Amino acid sequence: MRKALWIAVAGAVLLSGCHRKKNAHVPPPPAPGAPVSGETGLASWYGHPYHGRASASGEIYDMEQMTAAHRTLPFGTMVRVHDLDNEKTVDVRINDRGPFVDGRIIDLSHAAARAIDMIGPGTARVSLEILSLPTALAPAAFGVQVGAFRYRENAEKLRAEMEAKYGRARLTQRNDTPGLWRVVVGQEPTEAGADALAARIRAENSAITAAFVVRLDSV
């Protein structure tokens, strides 16, 4: 009887130890709002007239540097862009916002586009691999851009309409396009939350043809 009891206790201790050892190697879950590799879509590129202007990060845009614009990745993120058709790759640093065109996920500099033979076609099917994030990563916040206007009064009209429906909306201007007023709705702590808001806006407002999730770099 004592021998059987000892065997049972020893087995329980062994199983407990194995369970702890197994769990010890489970990686912690990613931080809320942390970007994930594997995004796929169309890449485009931009050069003049943006060359020499301040980018959304405040850095002067040099189209011959290996940089890119992305709507939600933090400034300073290093990304490897894989061309899915010719299998070429290029590494770029995110220092700007865009592209604000449906289906496009990244805007490459002229130099980066040339590296993967994208200058002629203008666009390419790509996937994105995140290589590194900036060491000082500010808390994430995301909104939905629903329009861009040359005239502030038109932007203000849409902003007021969106605020009445969804509780928060603002007008923003970027350094590279100072004459363009953008209407951004909401402030969500995760990109998934902003995606859900964008889907709701598109479903409830037939006049809005594009609703893009954007990172709020200043809130």
Output DSSP code: residue 97.
-
Cα-only R_g, the chain: 23
Look at residue 134 and give its three-state secondary structure. Answer: coil
Count of other CB atoms within 10 angstroms of residue 105: 20
Which fold does the domain 40-132 belong to in CATH? Barwin-like endoglucanases (2.40.40)
pLDDT in 10s for each residue of the chain, 219 residues: 444 444 443 444 334 444 444 444 444 444 444 566 789 999 999 999 899 999 989 999 999 999 999 999 999 999 999 999 999 999 999 999 999 888 899 999 999 999 999 999 999 999 999 999 998 777 889 999 999 999 999 999 999 999 999 999 999 987 666 778 999 999 999 999 999 999 999 999 999 988 999 999 875
The CATH homologous superfamily for domain 142-215 is Sporulation related repeat (3.30.70.1070)
CB 69 within 8 A of CB 75: no
Give domain limits for the chain: 40-132, 142-215
pTM: 0.80
Angle at 79 between CA 25 and CA 196, to 5 degrees: 80
